[in-house]
Amino acid sequence: MILNEKDLLNKKYKILICGSGPAGLSVALELEKNKIECLIVEAGDEFYSEKAQNRYDGQIIGNFPNNLSASRLSQFGGTSGHWGGTCRTLDDYDFKKWPINKDDLEPYLQESCNILEIPNSFREKQIAKNLKIIEFQESDVRFYDKYYKHVSNSKYIDVCLNSIINNVKIQNSKIQEISIKSKISFSIKADFLVLACGGIDNSRMLLWFRENNKSISRKLPIGNYWMEHPFKKIGSGVGNFKAIRKSFKNNFESFENFRNWGNFTVSISPTQNLINEKDILNSGVFLTLHDRNNDNLKNNVKDLLCVAPSLSKHILDLFDKNLLCGITLSSSWEQNPQLENQITLSSSKDFSGIPLIKLNYQLSDQTLRTAKEMVNQVGNYFIDQDLGRLGADKTIEESSSFISDAGYHHIGGTIMGNNQNSSVVDENLKLHDIENLYVCGSSVFPTGGHANPTLSIVQLSLRLGEHLTKKLKTI
């Protein structure tokens, strides 16, 4: 049901969820399935509002390429209102630093795919000693479109829009009261509070709660190890269109849901063996083929013939047979967790009194080395299979000037782990110090892999919903 702030006065909920994005709504859906009432408090309106969105402004120190406000959305359904919808599960070796592993999320995969309306199919096939091709799925789900009506009619999910959770009162390691700033300011009680404010604001809220409550330990690395997925065109090439199509089609005969940009796009990833051997990060490289009318092909041919004149005859031959194509290599890849990449609170505040954030962000050498190594590996695969020639763009070769775009995937800051000095939440996503405060979203990922995060966020949220259901039975 959609409620207004006056309906909430003197009410007590079992579970209060802060944020109605994919994370918050998925927790609520799982609770609803188990017939448990919850309240979602959402800072935004039903649709976009400048007032709510302005809370997302902030200050950047370093090389973060995206605008902090444009990279998320404050409204019912959260950032799913303008997400791209690309989905893939994390690889099992992405969980190396996590306190849980891929099998722990597996029971929630089918239901997560149902929520996102995608087939539960994320196949991969090794094509060389060091490389595999991988499958993505594309979701068209916007959580507002799919769930607004549903929650409006729900007996178990209440939602209050245009309302901001702006503080908590903690006593005896438990949250006793939650302050909300709406048209009026008031407090509410709940047995459990779940923060699902997105990959930046989960850190922001916890930092702010800590400023106001001594019982949240200074030792918790809140805001630290923040990550993105660098996303960039990393290389170019020239090749035999038919041979490339055939080579990858053969491997992917029945893989229909390829990531499909341009004429034909293949997604390639390093094997675990390559990651370990070369000490690189996980990565997805996308090859897009361009036809002969595309300037990419002309420029790439010119460039290649400068350095490899003996290839002229071969290129001429392909051109003659109308088989020559240009190739663009783009990549979305993993960033390693670094202590210095962190979210802190700024001295300016939003209209609800919560400080805006400061983001410190740099890319590491390992991140750049990963991109170079992948061009090298895929380039050698092209030589071995006689598919064409690939090369790295000068932008990734000249380290000093390297700045990458980013995929709008906000990871880390409230990372999961068993040790209170090096993590913020435990394996059940509970804040180490506090008995009834949980955090959900990609902010809890200790490492981010290369796959887009939302499918894993939904899996983790369903798992949290199930955990809270069990917890409530023990009270």
Partner 1 sequence: MNKDNFNSKRREFNKLVFKYIVSITLLNLYLSNGERISDISNKKRYSKIKWVLSSNDV
Cβ-based burial of 45 (10 A; exposed 0-12, middle 13-18, buried ≥19): middle
CB-CB contact of 289 with 263 (8 Å): yes
For residues 215 and 376, which CB has a smaller minimum distance to partner 1 in the complex?
Answer: 376
Residues 222-261 that bind partner 1 (CB under 8 A): 235-236
Using CB under 8 A as the binding rule, whether residue 392 contacts partner 1 is answered as yes
- Distances from the Cα of 234 to the Cαs of 172, 368, 372, 373, in angstroms? 53, 10, 8, 11
User: Could you give the CA distance from residue 70 to residue 53 in angstroms, rounded to a whole number?
Assistant: 9
Q: Which partner, ligand FAD, partner 1, none, binds residue 424 by CB below 5 to 8 Å per kind?
A: none
* Using rule CB under 8 A, residue 155 touches partner 1: no
Distance of CA 311 to the CA centre of its chain: 42
| Region from 128-136, 376-384, 419-427, 461-469 binding partner 1, contact rule CB under 8 A | 376-384
Nearest to 452 by CA among 275, 281, 334, 343: 334
Q: Which stretch binds partner 1 (CB under 8 A): 13-21, 56-64, 199-207, 381-389?
A: 381-389
Structure token pair of residue 198: 């997105």
Query: Smallest distance from the beta carbon of 113 to ligand FAD, in angstroms?
Result: 13
Give 39: exposed, middle or buried? Use CB within 10 Å, 0-12, 13-18, 19+: buried
Cα of first residue to Cα of last residue in the chain, in angstroms, is 26
Question: Rule CB under 8 A: is residue 307 a binding residue for partner 1?
Answer: yes
CB of 278 to partner 1, least distance (A): 15
Residue 254: CB partners within 8 Å, gap ≥ 6?
A: none
Closer to ligand FAD by Cβ: residue 28 or 43: 43
The binder of partner 1 chosen from 2, 60, 100, 308 (CB under 8 A): 308
φ/ψ of residue 72, rounded to 5:
-155, 175
User: C-beta of 400: minimal distance to partner 1 in Å?
Assistant: 15
Taking each helix axis from N to C end, the angle separating 454-474 and 109-116, rounded to the nearest 10 degrees, works out to 120
What residues from 5 to 24 belong to the interface with ligand FAD (CB under 6 A)? Answer: 18-24
Place of tokens 């190890």: 225
312-351 residues in contact with partner 1 (CB under 8 A) are: 312, 316, 319-320
Give me the least distance between CB of 386 and partner 1, in Å please: 10
Judged by beta carbon, residue 75 or residue 283, the one nearer partner 1 is 283
Judged by CB under 8 A, the stretch of 104-112, 164-172, 216-224, 382-390 that binds partner 1 is: 382-390
* Residue 42 contacts which entry, ligand FAD, partner 1, none (Cβ below 5-8 A, type-dependent): ligand FAD
Q: How many residues does the chain have?
A: 475
Give φ, ψ of 284 to 5 degrees.
Answer: -120, 120
Beta bridge mates, 408: none
Of the pair 58, 198, the CB lying nearest ligand FAD is at: 198
Q: Per DSSP, what are the bridge partners of residue 416?
A: 425
User: What residues line the site for ligand FAD (CB under 6 A)?
Assistant: 18-24, 41-44, 71-72, 74-75, 78-80, 82-87, 164-165, 196-198, 201, 205, 408-409, 441-442, 452-454, 457
User: What residues line the site for partner 1 (CB under 8 A)?
Assistant: 235-236, 292, 298, 300-312, 316, 319-320, 375-376, 379-380, 382-383, 389-394, 397
